[in-house]
């Protein structure tokens, strides 16, 4: 007897036929005593369709009312999946995020799961139901529905698996696992059998689209093994877990990630005194905008002024620009420059801690490609470089070849 949480994305539930297909697949592999929770996203493009409707009503398509609108998408797919199970003779019940006890912060559009009270889910499981939960949503303490932001259904699934102390959380997706790099960019990229939470978190944070960082973080916090696998085949995918069982211990670098959803902001002529950087980033924090890479440079000619360069998600760019223009007026800033034609390329691997020269090797690969590095940032298990967006794919291929295509690394 196991308790499994299975998450299916929008493309897996795009039509009633596809919904029936995944219901049949789940039933085919279900042992009689298995208890199963299914988390689903909205059908196919329905979230985009709702966004398009919103944009016809207002040019400020975000906030409370957008979440009110978007949460309907998952509510449709959970109801249809529950009906399909019932039609197939399997008792099933659907729950909205609220009904599943998912409590979030009040940050509309990017809510964080604060707590889960899965009592109703447990009761329904014990009554013999397959329980279907709407991904991507929860309830804030003011009674409002809040969406979790991009890829939020993964977060729902993993957090729910944690709260239910599930044996495994399976993330069914278009790809059959986590690759050493995006296989569309690097044909030589290969699927990893396993990866640690820490490395996966870093890969996800740095742009590997297969999993959302917050979902991996949840998995790490609650020690839920996450199995990333294909919706279309029975092949084993990639297991994300605490420690390696077999492979991977020897490799310095586990994967190459890249992210083109990046915008660069340069704030020119800021007073070079304590608290200035804090002030800029307070404006962004109030608007719920995350800042990623940050560089502060001192001008040789005039050390009373400094320039601050940082990156944000390109999707936050329009809102960030609004906020920053207010900051500029409020504080008499000389100028703020914006660039969206940048990309971040990163190497990830816990092994780099014991392997000198990884950074040097990485910069060497950029040099080989004649690629200029604009910003460098590092964490314990990753090194990232901001470069011109046009060079991104070339850079990924060069780095993958250098670090991962030796016979040692490839399986």
Q: Which is nearer to a second copy, 120 or 331 (CB)?
A: 120
Nearest residue (CB) to a second copy, 54 versus 339: 54
Q: What are phi and psi of 222, to 5 degrees?
A: -100, 5
Assign 356 to helix, strand or coil. Answer: coil
Residue 7, annotated as binding a ligand: yes
What span, in angstroms and rounded, lies between the C-alpha atoms of 124 and 121? 5
| 180 among annotated binding-site residues | no
Question: Which residue, 235, 240, 185, is CA-closest to 213?
Answer: 240
Q: Residue 106 interacts with a second copy (CB under 8 A)?
A: no
Distances (CA, A) of 250 to 181, 192, 243, 355, 404: 18, 14, 13, 10, 12
- Binding segment (CB under 8 A) for a second copy, from list 13-21, 155-163, 208-216, 309-317: 13-21
Structure tokens at 16: 């009633």
User: Would you say 12 or 306 has its CB closer to a second copy?
Assistant: 12
Q: Closest CB to a second copy among 24 and 290?
A: 24
Q: How far apart are CA 167 and CA 132, in angstroms?
A: 17
Question: What's the closest the beta carbon of residue 285 comes to a second copy, in angstroms?
Answer: 24
Binder of a second copy out of 3, 27, 51, 76 (CB under 8 A): 76
Looking at 54-62, 211-219, 228-236, 369-377, which segment touches a second copy (CB under 8 A)? 54-62
Q: Is 323 in the site for a second copy (CB under 8 A)?
A: no
C-beta of 69 vs 148, nearer to a second copy: 69
* 64 sits near a second copy (criterion: CB under 8 A): yes
Per CB under 8 A, does 130 bind a second copy? no
Binding window for a second copy (CB under 8 A); candidates: 48-56, 147-155, 159-167, 323-331: 48-56
Taking CB under 8 A as the criterion, the residue among 87, 115, 290, 341 binding a second copy is: 87
Q: How many CA atoms does the CB half-sphere of 395 hold within 13 Å? A: 30
- 361 carries a ligand binding annotation: no
Nearer to a second copy by Cβ, of 87 and 174: the residue is: 87
Contact of 106 with 114, CB cutoff 8 Å: no
- Give the orientation angle of helix 64-87 with respect to helix 16-29, to 10 degrees: 60
Helices 197-205 and 213-222: angle between axes, nearest 10 degrees: 160
Backbone dihedral region of 240: left (phi > 0), alpha (psi from -120 to 50 degrees) or beta?
A: beta
Q: What's the min distance (Å) between Cβ of 38 and a second copy?
A: 14
Q: By C-beta, is 60 or 184 nearer to a second copy?
A: 60
For residues 164 and 224, is the Cβ–Cβ distance under 8 A?
A: no
38 binding a second copy? (CB under 8 A): no
Check residue 191 and report its DSSP letter.
B
Residues 12 and 131: their CA atoms lie apart, in Å, by: 17
Beta bridge partners of 385: 345, 376
Q: Is 15 annotated as a binding residue?
A: no
Q: Is 59 a binder of a second copy (CB under 8 A)?
A: yes
Q: Residue 255 to residues 181, 381, 391: CA-CA distances in angstroms?
A: 6, 11, 18
Q: Which residues would be at the binding site for a second copy (CB under 8 A)?
A: 16, 19-20, 50, 53-54, 56-61, 64-66, 68-69, 71-72, 75-76, 78-80, 82-84, 86-87, 93-94, 96, 99, 120, 143-145
Binding-site members for ATP are 7-10, 173-174, 179, 184
């Amino acid at each position: 007897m196991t308790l499994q949480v299975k998450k299916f994305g929008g493309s897996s539930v795009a039509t009633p036929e596809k919904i029936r297909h995944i219901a049949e697949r789940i039933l085919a592999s279900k042992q009689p005593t298995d208890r199963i929770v299914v988390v689903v996203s909205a059908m196919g493009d329905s979230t985009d369709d709702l966004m398009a409707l919103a944009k016809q009503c207002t040019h400020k398509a975000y906030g409370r009312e957008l979440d009110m609108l978007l949460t309907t998408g998952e509510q449709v797919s959970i109801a249809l999946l529950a009906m399909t199970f019932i039609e197939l003779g399997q008792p099933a019940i659907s729950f909205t995020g609220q009904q599943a006890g998912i409590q979030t912060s009040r940050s509309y559009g990017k809510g964080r799961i604060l707590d889960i009270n899965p009592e109703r889910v447990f009761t329904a499981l014990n009554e013999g139901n397959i329980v279907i939960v709407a991904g991507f949503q929860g309830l804030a303490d003011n009674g409002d529905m809040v969406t979790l932001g991009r890829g939020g259904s993964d977060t729902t699934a993993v957090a729910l698996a944690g709260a239910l102390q599930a044996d495994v959380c399976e993330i069914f997706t278009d790809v059959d696992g986590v690759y050493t790099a995006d296989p569309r960019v690097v044909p030589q990229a290969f699927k990893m059998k396993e990866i640690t939470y820490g490395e996966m978190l870093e890969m996800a944070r740095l742009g590997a689209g297969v999993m959302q960082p917050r979902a991996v973080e949840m998995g790490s916090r609650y020690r839920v093994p996450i199995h990333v696998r294909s919706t279309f085949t029975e092949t084993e995918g990639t297991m994300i877990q605490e420690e390696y069982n077999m492979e991977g211990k020897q490799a310095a670098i586990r994967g190459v990630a890249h992210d083109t959803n990046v915008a660069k902001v340069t704030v020119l002529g800021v007073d070079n005194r304590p608290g200035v950087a804090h002030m800029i980033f307070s404006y962004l924090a109030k608007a719920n905008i995350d800042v990623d890479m940050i560089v502060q440079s001192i001008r040789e000619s005039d050390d009373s002024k400094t320039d601050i360069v940082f990156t944000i998600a390109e999707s936050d760019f329009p809102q960030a620009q609004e906020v920053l223009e207010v900051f500029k007026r409020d504080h008499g800033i000389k100028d703020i420059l914006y660039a969206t034609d940048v990309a971040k390329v990163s190497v990830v691997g816990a092994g780099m801690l014991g392997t000198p020269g990884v950074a040097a090797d990485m910069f060497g690969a950029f040099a080989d490609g004649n690629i200029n590095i604009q910003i460098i940032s590092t964490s314990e298990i990753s090194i990232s470089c901001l470069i011109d967006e046009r060079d991104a794919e070339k850079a990924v291929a060069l780095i993958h070849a250098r670090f991962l295509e030796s016979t040692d690394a490839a399986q």
